[in-house]
Structure 1
Amino acid sequence: MTDSPSYSALREHNRVTAALIADPEVTGDLLLVGMWLARATILRDPPPGEGRWSFTSIAGALFGHGRPLTITGMGATTRVPNYLVARVKQAVRADRPHYDPDRDNAADPWMHLPCRAPMIRREGECGQHGTMYDYLTDLTTGRQVRIAACRRHKPWYDHQVVTNREAVRDAGDRLPRPAANAGGALARHIGGVNWPRIWQMVDPHWTPPPEGASTRKPTLRVLRNDDFEPSEDRPAPRLVVHEGGWR
């Protein structure tokens, strides 16, 4: 840190740090990476350039623990083990916006799913405790739903799974892509980072969620009226700062 940070920068750093710690989705290695990024982007410590904001530098700063490190631009010829760099990348990759079928089906735990096979001699489903589990893809939304069956209804279960997979394969690119329901936690708190570029670095196949392409930052316009006179009934408008910023 070349210059002492301003009071406003220190206050913003403290606010972001507290928000990261309080966020239940930011834990473990992701929290460590978030704390490092908050210090780097807000306090400029370390300053950008010469590889100081690389995955290697982050891994060395977080997990070095006295091991021999190689950090570009830090003035030392040392080496960061690849598995430590991969640890940082994995934390960031897990936080990329994506669709998580497990989260989408959290209300239906695997071990409590009943057999969904229809009964022949009575109305309704079997209802016995499921012993076989899988996901079926909803062809209209792209979302995945859990399916379970007991041993007695294995043929029905196999038919449902195979038929659904064939339909998904036949749909190809026509299959809707579900909206992201996981990830993006660090991006909610830390600005000044080209997050889409970072997510593509850790996952070359990642693309923005469908709803992300049409989302644009609003444009504000000031309307002036020379005839307006503030009064108790018509107070002058004020701009109010809300914490959180654009997301």
Structure 2
Amino acid sequence: MGAALHLAHATELPTRKRKRKGGGGGGDGYDQLVARVYQDPRMTPEARELILLLAWLTARDPNRSDEQGNPRKWRKRASDILGEYGRPGGRRESRLADLLYADRPRYDFPPLSYNQPCAAPMIRREGLCGRPASDNDYEVDHDTGWKTPVYFCRRHEPWGGQLREQRRREPGPEPIPNAGGLVVSYLMSDGQEQAWARLYREAAEWKRDRQWEPPKGYGLRADDWPTPGQEQPSKEEEPFRLRLIASDGGLIAGAVQ
């Protein structure tokens, strides 16, 4: 997977000895977790791939234990499954780094669009300008920190400058994250945030992104982020998670709970 990325030094499967190989029964929570993954409307292909792989390695991999029932180290097994691929220049890329980096918790600015109309208000008539825009800035929601692109034409560049100056004077709060954080919603237990933040940061460095930092004030888990206009899910209805146990600063796969 590459020396630059260590799965929080995760090396072993559950410490509980198993007397036989084979998958567990439906009562271990694995089936419920898989169903939740596929039914989650927020799910991305990258998060789904990594969550299901770790769940399978923990609960269903027929080779997760040796002949004596001792847990096998699964890092090489996971790396073999995910694989690596080459880039021009000979650099080998880590699929695990790809999956983690794609799921890094963050706020994604809305994509800009072409052929947008100028949004400057007109003085001599009601309504907006509507001419083809030539530039853009953005407005900030002071409750969420989310940003909305605003477009303006050459004629209304002074209005766009006023908008930009107002934004600089009042930048708004730290934006609520709106992307990533799904893997930890299924895998992170309480007290493991630093370990997972280190994982995401190492993946970002592997992808040559040295700017990523954990979101301030909101945590890593998408399940914990407030969604404007929606109530937070009840903590009494805790969903099935793949519990990873912290050990010596690392993460060891545990059980589906």
TM-score, normalized by length of structure 2?
A: 0.55
Distance 1:51 1:11 in 2: 21
Structure 2: how far apart are the matches of 1:139 and 1:242? Answer: 31
Q: Which of these residues, 60, 67, 70, is aligned with residue 80 of structure 2?
A: 60
Residues 26 and 186, structure 1, Cα contact 8 Å, conserved in 2 = no
Distance 1:200 1:207 in 2: 9
Q: Is the 8 A contact 2:144 2:176 kept in 1?
A: no
Q: Does 1:207 align with 2:214?
A: yes
Kept after mapping to 1: 8 A contact 2:134/2:152: yes
Which residue of structure 2 aligns with residue 233 of structure 1? none
* Greater RCO, 1 or 2 (C-alpha within 8 Å, sep 6+): 2
User: Which position in structure 1 is the counterpart of 2:239?
Assistant: 244
Which position in structure 2 is the counterpart of 1:197? Answer: 195
Change over 3 Å in CA distance of 1:208–1:117 after alignment to 2: closer
CA contact (8 A) 2:64 2:72 kept: no
**Whole-angstrom CA distance in 1 between matches of 2:91 and 2:81:** 14
Distance of aligned partners of 1:203 and 1:192 in 2 relative to their CA distance in 1, 3 Å threshold: same
In the TM superposition, residue 38 of structure 1 has moved relative to its aligned partner by 0.9
Residue 79 of structure 2 contacts residue 96 of structure 2 at CA under 8 Å; is this kept in 1? yes
What do the CA deviations read for 1:111-158 (whole angstroms, capped 9, x no partner)?
A: 474312122323442133434333343466532121111233233224
The verdict on how the C-alpha distance between 1:143 and 1:49 changes in structure 2, with shifts beyond 3 A counting, is farther
Larger CA deviation: 141-150 vs 129-138: 129-138
Match for residue 98 of structure 1?
106
Q: 1: distance between equivalents of 2:37 and 2:218?
A: 25
Q: Which runs of 5+ in 2 are unaligned?
A: 1-12, 203-211, 225-235, 242-257
* Residue of structure 1 in register with 2:56 after alignment: 39
Q: Which residue of 2 aligns with 1:73?
A: none
**Partner SS state of residue 210, structure 1:** coil
Identity %: 25
Counterpart code for 1:60: D
The question of whether the paired residues in 1 share the 8 Å contact of 2:64 and 2:71 is answered with: no
Give the superposed CA RMSD. Answer: 4.3
Shift of 1:199: 3.4
Secondary structure of 1:202's match? helix
Q: Which has the larger radius of gyration?
A: 1
**Is the CA contact 1:12–1:42 (under 8 Å) kept in the aligned structure 2?**
no
The aligned length equals 193
Question: Cα distance 1:50–1:13, how it changes in 2: closer, same or farther (>3 A)?
Answer: closer
Structure 1 match to 2:93? 84
Quote the residue 1:134 is aligned against.
137
How far the C-alpha of 1:6 sits from its partner, in A, is 6.2
Q: In 1, distance between residues paired with 2:189 and 2:159?
A: 53
Q: TM-score, normalised by structure 1?
A: 0.57
Between 1:42-51 and 1:25-34, the stretch displaced more is: 42-51
| Greater per-residue strand proportion | 2
